[in-house]
Structure 1
Amino acid sequence: MTDSQKCIIGLVFYPGMTALDVIGPQQVFIGLPGVELHRLWKTLEPIKTDDGMMVVPDTTFEDCPQLDVVCIGGGVGQGAVEDDPEVLAFLSKQGSTAKFVTSVCGGSIFLAKAGLLEGYRAATHWAARENLAQLGVEVGTERVVVDRNRITGGGVTAGIDFALTIASIIYGEEIAKITQLILEYNPAPPFDVGSPEKAGTELVDKAMFFVQEMSNLKVTQ
């Protein structure tokens, strides 16, 4: 893609979402040349994320242009939204024409329910892998899964890796590398337990209990 070409990217926001799922990719995307970014929801009213932060969409589903990249993330509160017919219809419509159909974390559940992952491999948050598999999707455990024009990231922080992967595909490796350097994305976590494969059964079980407790709390609120 040349600097004169426009890439229209749409990030779907919704109540109960995990902000970092899309805020991470947004930070990558806004630094790329020619990007027109839309923060999408049914209305332009402020949205409360699952950590209590308020975010404001700037484009409604109705006013959204045809997207080159459509992306949705996950969140503790996604269960209340992932069967919403308006959301699924929007994803299905945009997904039928977008150059890249994408998600981060539990966002792949939305894509599957919108009929956009049939015959594709996809990543998701480790705690949602079983749910995604039950929807007939071949689940990949990689941090980012690229299957033709379906690009999906694992849980939460994988969104940055995911976005840099998209940047490399669309703009080339050099632009993606420059973007990574500008963001000083040089992760050095204090613990090597960032995936269930590394964390071990005991820690995974404790983390799963915590995730379930958070989800139950969200449902009763």
Structure 2
Amino acid sequence: MTRIAIPLFPGFMPLDLVGPYDVLRFLPGAEVVFVATKPDLIPGADGGFGLQAQATPDDIDACDILLVPGGRGTRDYAARKPLTDWIARMHKTTTWTTSVCTGALLLGAAGILDGLDATTHWNAVPELEAFGARYTPERVVRRGKVVTAAGVSSGIDMALTLAGLIEGEEFAQALQLWIEYDPQPPYDTGSVAKAGAELAARTPGLIAGGARRG
């Protein structure tokens, strides 16, 4: 059995975890458990999407894969402390400790990224570096058993990378085909390097009036 533990908190970004979940659940013997401080329905970004937590930190004392999503809720470090304490404990038991987007900030708050290369959403780099991490502008960054992914959609890339490391490239390639992950975006602005500094500077203001990023 491969136990995959995913912490939930108010304001998590749905795609941060749903994307990699829909890859990693196909690992042989996979058991996925959603963990929150209370076994309730946990609201995601802007309250429009929620997931049911199945366990609390007291219920889970070890896991093989820890997958930490991001979202605006990561910034409330005081409220997240029970989860970051649990993340630090889980890290001692994991084969793989992973994050997507600003989930890296929770790894940082748990003391896991100090002195490590890591990635996160491009708009959260100063916060990441405040935890002692060295920001690396790559879509997926692996350092030992710690694997971090950049913004939101990169969680799928991270999960496929992880599947390849665990079960081999052919299995991961088959998974990519099964979920038909063949990105062909209508615009080539999916990174700061491609979008340019001018659009990057305007983006937070453009997004603020609608659905917000994690």
TM over 0.5: yes
Is residue 82–residue 110 contact of structure 1 (8 Å, CA) maintained in 2? no
1:29 lines up with 2:24 in the alignment: yes
1:134 lines up with 2:146 in the alignment: no
Residues 141-193 of structure 1: CA deviation (Å, up to 9, x unaligned): 11000111110000000000010011011111111111110000000000000
1:186 lines up with 2:175 in the alignment: no
1:9 lines up with 2:28 in the alignment: no
| Counterpart pick for 1:147 among 135, 143, 152 | 143
Amino acid at match of 1:146: R
Q: Tell me by how many angstroms 1:206 deviates.
A: 1.1
Amino acid at match of 1:62: D
Is residue 153–residue 162 contact of structure 1 (8 Å, CA) maintained in 2? yes
The farther-off stretch of 14-23 and 62-71 is 62-71
| Alpha-carbon distance in 1 for matches of 2:95, 2:65 | 6
Secondary structure of the equivalent of 2:72?
Answer: coil
Q: Tell me by how many angstroms 1:195 deviates.
A: 0.4
Listed as ranges, the matches of 1:68-147 within 5 Å are 68-81=64-77, 84-147=80-143
TM-score by length of 1: 0.90
1:201 lines up with 2:191 in the alignment: no
Residues 46-101 of structure 1: CA deviation (Å, up to 9, x unaligned): 01111411211112211114101111111123222566321111001001121111
| Alpha-carbon distance in 2 for matches of 1:215, 1:118 | 32
Amino acid at match of 1:78: T
Is residue 5–residue 35 contact of structure 2 (8 Å, CA) maintained in 1? yes
TM-score by length of 2: 0.93
Alignment partner, residue 45 of structure 1 = 40
Structure 2's unaligned 5+ residue stretches are none
| Alpha-carbon distance in 1 for matches of 2:3, 2:172 | 17
Q: Tell me by how many angstroms 1:120 deviates.
A: 1.3
The farther-off stretch of 130-139 and 98-107 is 130-139
The number of residue pairs the alignment matches comes to: 212
| Alpha-carbon distance in 2 for matches of 1:83, 1:147 | 28
Secondary structure of the equivalent of 1:77?
Answer: helix
| Alpha-carbon distance in 2 for matches of 1:215, 1:113 | 26
Alignment partner, residue 3 of structure 1 = none
Secondary structure of the equivalent of 2:66?
Answer: strand
Distance 1:37 1:82, change over 3 A: farther
Distance 1:211 1:132, change over 3 A: farther
Amino acid at match of 2:188: D
Structure 1's unaligned 5+ residue stretches are 1-5
Is residue 192–residue 199 contact of structure 1 (8 Å, CA) maintained in 2? yes
| Alpha-carbon distance in 2 for matches of 1:13, 1:203 | 31
Amino acid at match of 1:87: L
Is residue 32–residue 179 contact of structure 1 (8 Å, CA) maintained in 2? no
Amino acid at match of 1:20: L
| Alpha-carbon distance in 2 for matches of 1:79, 1:215 | 17
